Amino acid sequence: MKVKLTKFDALIVVDVQKDFMPGGALPVPEGDKVVKPLNQYIELFSEKGLPVFFTRDWHPKDHISFKGHGGVWPPHCVQDTEGAQFHPDLIIPSDNKFIISKGTSRDFDAYSGFQGTTLDSLLKERGIRRIFVGGVATDYCVKNTVLGGINLGYFAFLLLDAIKGVDVKPGDSEKAIEEMLNAGAVCLTYQELE
């Protein structure tokens, strides 16, 4: 079955930032492998005039999620640092694109692109009903963005060919995918788009 894109669709590219890539402060294994497939989706959505949303961690340097400030992660994606920049090969269209910064205040952690951001209102004012989600990491911010979208009433497609997980515990990514499917998400690859 092919999925046809409509004016009710938006692409959400989750956290494709240097710190989450190999060599970064908090690398997702093979995280850079999502860039090429995501670029295909970005080009397709852009050609059709559909909005593309880029979420990013944009943390203050004393963020609650950091080790030393009560959290479990090494410092990453600190505002205005090199590590917080998007992967240099990621296509950022000149129009109909939105940068969504999350985890911007010290005391609030956000794994979902919807938490404490304008993402939901930006989608709603454009009449968006279906979201297509890819990026990193499958078992954290991708999962929480998909689940957050479903909870807010969006139909969510998980872009299976454009996600990578951390797998702190082996199998975390598979479990996350299962959790998203159980919540109503549908898996999709580029070949299945019309």
pLDDT beyond 90 at 68? no
Token pair 């497939």 is at which residue?
A: 37
- The superfamily in CATH containing domain 9-192 is Isochorismatase-like (3.40.50.850)
- For this structure, is 102 an active site residue? yes
pLDDT digits (tens, 9 = 90+) for 97-140: 999 999 999 998 899 999 999 999 999 999 999 999 999 999 99
pLDDT of res. 1: 75
Domain boundaries, the chain: 9-192
> Tokens standing for 9?
């669709």
Catalytic pick among 9, 18, 32, 102? 102
Closest CA to 41 of 91, 113, 116, 1: 91
Catalytic pick among 141, 143, 161, 164? 141
3-class SS at 35?
helix
Do the beta carbons of residue 177 and residue 187 sit within 8 Å?
yes
pLDDT of res. 143: 98
Q: Residue 126 contacts by C-beta under 8 Å, 6 or more apart in sequence? A: 10, 51
pLDDT of res. 102: 97
Please state whether the predicted TM-score (pTM) of the whole model is above 0.85: yes
- For this structure, is 107 an active site residue? no
Do the beta carbons of residue 2 and residue 194 sit within 8 Å?
yes
Do the beta carbons of residue 163 and residue 156 sit within 8 Å?
no
pLDDT digits (tens, 9 = 90+) for 73-90: 999 999 999 999 999 999
pLDDT beyond 80 at 181? yes
Q: Determine the residue type at 176.
A: A
